[in-house]
Every structure is written in structure tokens, then in C-alpha cells.
């Protein structure tokens, strides 16, 4: 007798199949599909829990796009949307972190020398963590016990099992409940907590060095930042010209590559107090001139590439280059103030309490979580799928480790990176609720309120379900558009 799928009449098999699927279908319909459709409808009504509920049966009014229109006139909405996008700037770092962890763990499992290094690293890491917790106020005996045992276990298990125990250890953050993680980080970020206790002496030492040669730092820091920024800018211009000449970059890619340079310059002009028109118009004008100069150049091989050829490479580069150039712009703009700040001592940041530090603090926490996340597992799987003959060929050609990474590993991981990027954008836009609720209550001054937390407040604290639903659908539209852009311009194939 045959097994599943070959017994009984087709009708009977259909009924059996539906019966098995029914609980899931019903659950999906009741808790996802129906609410989804309802929320879409609610977004066009004035549903307010104060007036429309089982106790007060006031007529629901169709308001058209009024909720959406009001959303964009709400002083907070754009602020919180900005917060959400700002926090998403951490995504490239999170991807880099998980890739780094995966590369490290792959090396550990393959190379005995690296494995020994990893043992030492893991032991030092755990001991250091114990010290930090001790400084943070945990009981001495408890800390030594916990980390003594963990260090011993990691060493013994590492010797016995190779890299797998380290993979497990690195994956631990993903097992930890989100709220518990947030509470832990809240304690770590305490101004008198372990992180600042460790930073304090470093900052004191650095401040004394700055005080010993204030003139050097007052012009040295802006100059150094300026030189590095100029070098990076020139390198990018040279790159774009080369790619245009070689017909590996289309006009869209060239303009995009130039636009990424305009962002930090515009920000710097804004910080220097220039008007918005100048800060936006100036860099755009320069981009225009640069684009004309490059695009007018004759190509060596003729116009053989598509308009958007090489665009995904420009986007990938922008993820790293824009934040770096922005940091350098900060150094150029405010570096000269360093001696004045150091004169009164450099205080450790007030991570979650300071308006300017709260978002970076959240991003650092996100980076930590990303290192030991599902993304790391995906990268590990991706790395194991790279054909070894590619590396063997590269070795025969005398490729350096960096060249092996840049020309083999990174392109071969493109599909994984694409998937992680898409999911990261989706989760990044939807996320931030638990973190805002547990760690900061959306503060200080709304600096960590994300769209998801805003939707919750509007829906359940203010009771305006129509408005909250409209905000949720705007969020959906953003996710949809960014995902489409990702699919359109993302590098999905290892052979691209």
C-alpha cells in the first residue's frame, strides 16, 4: 500500500489535507488576515475607542484620507519617522558584525592556530565580562562563580568540540529574551555602570594627553579628519571615473556614487550654520558638475553597459562610506573644540539619558545582538557553500587574504547579504517597540520613540485606532517601497 498522497479518492485526500491545515488557516485568518483587513478599513474611519466600543455605539464615520493627511501634519510623526530611519543606520554595522563573527567562527573551525587564538579570546572575553559585571555592582562571589564556570566550560568544550561550542556561545544573544537583554543593557549603560567605569580611565588619560598639547589637537584633529575625508572623496571620484571609463558603471550608478558624497558635505554645511538652501543646493550643484564632467568622458569600450550597471556596488559602498564620511565631518566641524572639552575633563557618555547619545546607544546594543544572531547563522551557511576551488585558484594566483575576501567571499555571499538586507530593513522599520518601552519609554524627549511605539501609544493610550491604523499602513508602505528598491537594485546573485 502506498503512503501519503496515494490513498483514497482525491476528494477524501483533499478533505484530509484541509482538516490538517484548518487549525493553522483558522488561526491565520482570525489573528492575521481579519485584523489586517480590518485595520485597512479602520485607517479610513474616525474609530476612537472612547466613542466606538461595546458601551458606546456611536456611528463610525468614513473620513477618507483625513487620518493620513493629519499624520503628516502631526509634529511628532516626522520626528519619530526620522528616529526610525536613524536607528536603521545601524544596519550596515549589524551586517558587518554578523559577517565578522561568521568569518571568525569559520576560521576557528578550520585552522588550529586560529582555534588556539579563539580559546584565548573567549577566555579573556568571559573574564573581562566578569570584571565588568563586578564593577557594575554584582556580588563578587556570584560573578566569579558564573564566569569561572563559563570560562572553564568554554575552554574544555572548545578543545573537545572545535568551533561548534563557540558558535553556540556566539549565538547565545539570540536565545535570550528581548526584555531581559534590554534590562541588562540598561544596567550596563548606567552612567556609573560598568561601561562608563571602564571608559572613565581611558577618557581621563586621553583628556590629560589633549591638555598636554592643546594646540596640536585643536588644529590636528580637524586637519587629520579633513585629510582622510578628502582622500576618501578623491578615491571615490577616481573609482567612479574608472568604472565609467571601463563601462562597468552606468550613468545612474555614477550619479548615485556622487550623491553619497554630497550627504556628509551637506550635513557639514548645515552644522557650520549655513542656510538649508546652501546646505542642500551647494553639494547638489557640485554633484551635477561632477556628473557632467564624468559622463562626458568617452568610454574605452563604448556604451556597452546598462544605465544602472554597478548600482548595487555603489549602494553597498554607500552603507559604509556615508557614515564614515559623516563621522569625519563631525571631526572637522567640532574637532577644534576638543582641548576646551578636555580642559574640564571628558565625561563618559550618559548613554540612554542624553538626547544625542540615546540613539547611538541603542544602535550599539543592536550591533551586539546582530553579532550573535540568525544573520550570523545565515552567513555561516553561506560561507560553507562557497566552492573551495575558488580559494585554491586564488591561492595559486597569489591573492592576499583581503583580495580573497573582496573578490571571492563577498561576491559569493551576495544572495545571503541581499536576504539579510531585505529582512533587516523590514525588521528595522517595524522594530523598536520593546526597546522603547523597556529601556527609555521613548525618551529622552522622544529621541528613541520609533514608529511602532508611536502606533502603540496612539492606538492604546490615546485610543485613536483610525489614526494608529493609518500610521501602521504608512509604515507598511515604507517597508514595501524599500523592499521593492532592495529587489530592484540589490545584488541577489553570486555571479552579478
Q: How far is the CB of 462 from another protein (least distance, A)?
A: 6
Question: Does residue 1 belong to the site contacting another protein (CB under 8 A)?
Answer: yes
Q: Contact with another protein (CB under 8 A): which of 19, 141, 304, 402?
A: 19
Question: Does residue 355 belong to the site contacting another protein (CB under 8 A)?
Answer: yes
Q: Contact with another protein (CB under 8 A): which of 173, 323, 347, 353?
A: 353
Q: How far is the CB of 86 from another protein (least distance, A)?
A: 15
Question: Does residue 133 belong to the site contacting another protein (CB under 8 A)?
Answer: no
Q: Contact with another protein (CB under 8 A): which of 137, 142, 214, 303?
A: 137
Question: Does residue 190 belong to the site contacting another protein (CB under 8 A)?
Answer: yes
Question: Does residue 186 belong to the site contacting another protein (CB under 8 A)?
Answer: yes
Q: How far is the CB of 50 from another protein (least distance, A)?
A: 5
Encoded one letter per residue, x for contact with another protein by CB under 8 A and - for no contact, window 213-252 reads ----------------------------------------
Encoded one letter per residue, x for contact with another protein by CB under 8 A and - for no contact, window 423-452 reads -----------------x--xxxx------
Nearer to another protein, 20 or 219 (CB): 20
Question: Does residue 460 belong to the site contacting another protein (CB under 8 A)?
Answer: yes
Tell me which stretch binds another protein (CB under 8 A): 187-195, 269-277, 391-399, 403-411. 187-195
Using CB under 8 A as the binding criterion, the count of chain residues that bind another protein stands at 43
Encoded one letter per residue, x for contact with another protein by CB under 8 A and - for no contact, window 22-61 reads ------------------------x-xxxx-xxxx-----
Question: Does residue 354 belong to the site contacting another protein (CB under 8 A)?
Answer: yes
Cβ neighbours, 10 Å, residue 104: 18
Question: Does residue 360 belong to the site contacting another protein (CB under 8 A)?
Answer: no
**Residues of this chain that bind another protein (CB under 8 A):** 1-4, 7, 16, 19-20, 46, 48-51, 53-56, 70, 75, 137, 183, 186-187, 189-193, 350, 352-355, 440, 443-446, 457, 460-463
Amino acid at each position: 500500500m502506498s503512503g501519503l498522497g496515494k490513498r483514497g479518492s482525491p476528494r477524501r485526500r483533499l478533505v484530509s489535507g484541509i482538516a490538517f491545515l484548518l487549525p493553522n488557516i483558522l488561526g491565520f485568518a482570525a489573528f492575521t488576515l481579519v485584523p489586517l483587513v480590518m485595520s485597512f478599513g479602520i485607517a479610513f474611519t474616525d474609530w476612537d475607542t472612547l466613542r466606538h466600543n461595546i458601551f458606546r455605539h456611536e456611528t463610525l464615520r468614513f473620513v477618507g484620507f483625513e487620518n493620513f493627511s493629519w499624520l503628516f501634519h502631526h509634529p511628532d510623526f516626522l520626528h519619530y519617522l526620522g528616529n526610525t530611519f536613524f536607528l536603521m543606520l545601524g544596519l550596515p554595522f549589524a551586517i558587518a558584525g554578523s559577517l565578522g563573527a561568521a568569518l571568525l567562527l569559520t576560521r576557528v573551525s578550520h585552522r588550529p592556530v586560529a582555534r588556539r587564538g579563539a580559546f584565548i579570546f573567549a577566555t579573556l572575553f568571559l573574564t573581562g565580562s566578569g570584571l565588568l559585571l563586578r564593577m557594575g555592582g554584582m556580588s563578587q562571589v556570584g560573578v566569579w562563580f558564573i564566569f569561572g564556570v563559563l570560562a572553564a566550560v568554554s575552554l574544555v568544550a572548545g578543545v573537545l568540540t572545535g568551533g561548534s561550542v563557540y558558535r553556540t556561545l556566539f549565538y547565545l544573544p539570540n536565545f535570550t529574551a528581548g526584555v531581559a537583554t534590554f534590562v541588562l543593557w540598561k544596567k550596563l549603560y548606567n552612567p556609573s555602570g560598568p561601561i562608563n567605569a571602564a571608559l572613565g580611565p581611558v577618557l581621563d588619560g586621553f583628556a590629560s594627553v589633549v591638555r598636554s598639547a592643546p594646540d596640536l589637537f585643536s588644529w590636528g584633529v580637524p586637519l587629520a579628519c579633513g585629510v582622510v575625508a578628502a582622500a576618501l572623496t578623491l578615491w571615490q571620484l577616481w573609482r567612479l571615473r574608472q568604472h565609467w571609463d571601463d563601462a562597468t558603471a552606468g550613468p545612474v550608478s555614477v550619479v548615485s556614487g556622487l550623491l553619497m558624497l554630497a550627504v556628509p558635505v551637506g550635513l557639514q554645511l548645515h552644522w557650520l550654520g549655513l542656510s538649508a538652501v546652501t546646505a542642500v543646493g551647494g553639494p547638489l550643484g557640485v554633484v551635477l558638475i561632477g556628473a557632467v564632467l564624468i559622463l562626458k568622458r568617452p568610454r574605452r569600450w563604448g556604451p556597452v553597459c546598462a544605465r544602472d550597471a554597478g548600482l548595487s556596488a555603489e549602494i553597498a559602498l554607500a552603507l559604509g562610506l556615508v557614515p564614515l564620511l559623516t563621522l569625519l565631518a563631525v571631526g572637522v566641524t567640532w574637532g577644534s573644540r576638543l582641548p576646551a572639552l578636555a580642559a574640564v575633563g571628558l565625561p563618559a557618555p550618559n548613554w540612554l539619558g542624553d538626547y544625542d547619545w540615546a540613539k547611538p546607544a541603542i544602535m550599539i546594543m543592536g550591533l551586539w545582538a546582530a553579532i550573535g544572531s540568525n544573520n550570523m547563522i545565515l552567513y555561516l551557511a553561506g560561507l560553507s557553500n562557497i566552492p573551495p576551488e575558488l580559494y585554491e585558484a586564488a591561492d595559486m594566483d597569489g591573492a592576499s587574504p583581503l583580495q580573497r575576501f573582496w573578490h571571492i567571499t563577498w561576491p559569493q555571499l551576495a544572495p545571503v547579504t541581499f536576504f539579510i538586507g531585505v529582512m533587516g530593513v523590514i525588521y528595522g522599520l517595524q522594530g523598536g517597540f520593546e526597546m522603547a518601552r523597556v529601556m527609555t519609554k521613548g525618551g529622552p524627549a522622544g529621541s528613541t520613540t520609533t514608529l511602532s511605539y508611536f502606533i502603540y501609544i496612539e492606538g492604546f493610550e490615546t485610543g485613536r485606532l483610525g489614526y494608529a491604523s493609518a500610521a501602521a499602513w504608512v509604515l507598511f508602505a515604507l517597508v514595501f517601497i524599500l523592499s521593492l528598491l532592495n529587489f530592484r537594485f540589490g545584488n541577489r546573485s553570486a555571479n552579478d
